[in-house]
Structure 1
């Protein structure tokens, strides 16, 4: 049985993109990307909303994404071999292999997928993750906190109380901090 892990990069004040929709500040350096690769190597399925999928599909559709560094090439390999489920009412089709399109988030389907998974399933994107958090489906939160403050934007956290227990923390030379929590 796998776990459902809400995983993303966020600013120090809890945003995943700024008011203009910009996320380029979240690009991890090579040390952080190597750590991300360690963590995601065991992920068998990614759950995405449309916007997150459109950000991530470059790991399969843009060959230049893999040539940036050995860590980028490794991440692309990890990403491409995993299953992906994209939840969208507006996307006409998916552009990547091993990818299914769903029109709506079905908590029971997600619960069954996670229970049948041999490894972790990640849910990425705060809008989609909010549905899973409200349904009590998320087992852990894995966040990579970047050392900057945006002031406003799209919040990593939904507008509801979530009690967390810190399981692990790790800092990097860039000032990025990795935090792993379980949900109480």
Structure 2
């Protein structure tokens, strides 16, 4: 059985996009890039929303990326080796191999996919990850926390629910990025009693 892992880059204040929809806040770092490539090699299936899929598909459709360096070639190879499931109501076709298009996120189907998987799965995109969290399907949360505060935008983690986590591992990179790996112990909708008392 495979684990479902939510992997994302977030600002220090918890956003994956700023208020203008920008997320490219930090220059490419070889140490972080190599670490991310190793992470992808352990994944058998990527679950994507449309926007993230279209951003990532260039690693298969644009050969000039892999040609830039051995590091980028390794990343492209790791990305292409995994299966992809794309959730979109607007896409009519996909541009990459071994990719399935689904119109809606079906928790039961993802549960079955996990149960039959021989390697781990990742879920990418905050909206899709929120649906997976709400369905109780996310086993791990891995965050690359970038040393920047953007002040607002799209939250990287679900709102309106509480999740209890156990820290499994952490790594600090030379450029100030910190990788945090958590096990998800359980989640539930937030209630008024979850709010801290003010006195």
Shorter-chain TM range is: over 0.9
CA distance in 2, matches of 1:131, 1:26: 28
Q: Quick check: 1:179 aligned with 2:180?
A: yes
- Secondary structure in 1 matching 2:163: coil
Deviations 1:83-133 (A, max 9, x none): 000000011111111101000000000011111111110001110000000
Count of aligned pairs: 184
Most deviating of 25-34 and 132-141: 25-34
Aligned to 1:102: 102
CA distance in 1, matches of 2:158, 2:68: 34
Runs of at least 4 residues of structure 1 off by over 3 A? Answer: none
Aligned to 2:66: 66
Within 5 Å, which residues of 2 pair with 1:87-166? 87-159=87-159, 160-166=161-167
Structure 2 unaligned regions, length at least 5: 186-199
Residue 26 of structure 1 deviates from its aligned partner by 5.0
- Secondary structure in 1 matching 2:76: helix
Residue 80 of structure 1 deviates from its aligned partner by 0.5
Aligned to 1:4: 4
Alignment check: 8 A CA contact 1:50 1:86 kept: yes
Deviations 1:132-167 (A, max 9, x none): 000000000011111111111111111121111110
Residue 69 of structure 1 deviates from its aligned partner by 2.6
Residue 67 of structure 1 deviates from its aligned partner by 2.8
TM-score (norm 1): 0.97
Alignment check: 8 A CA contact 1:10 1:26 kept: no
TM-score (norm 2): 0.90
CA distance in 2, matches of 1:171, 1:20: 28
Aligned to 1:54: 54
Residue 27 of structure 1 deviates from its aligned partner by 5.6
Considering only CA atoms, is the larger Rg found in Structure 1 or Structure 2? Answer: 2
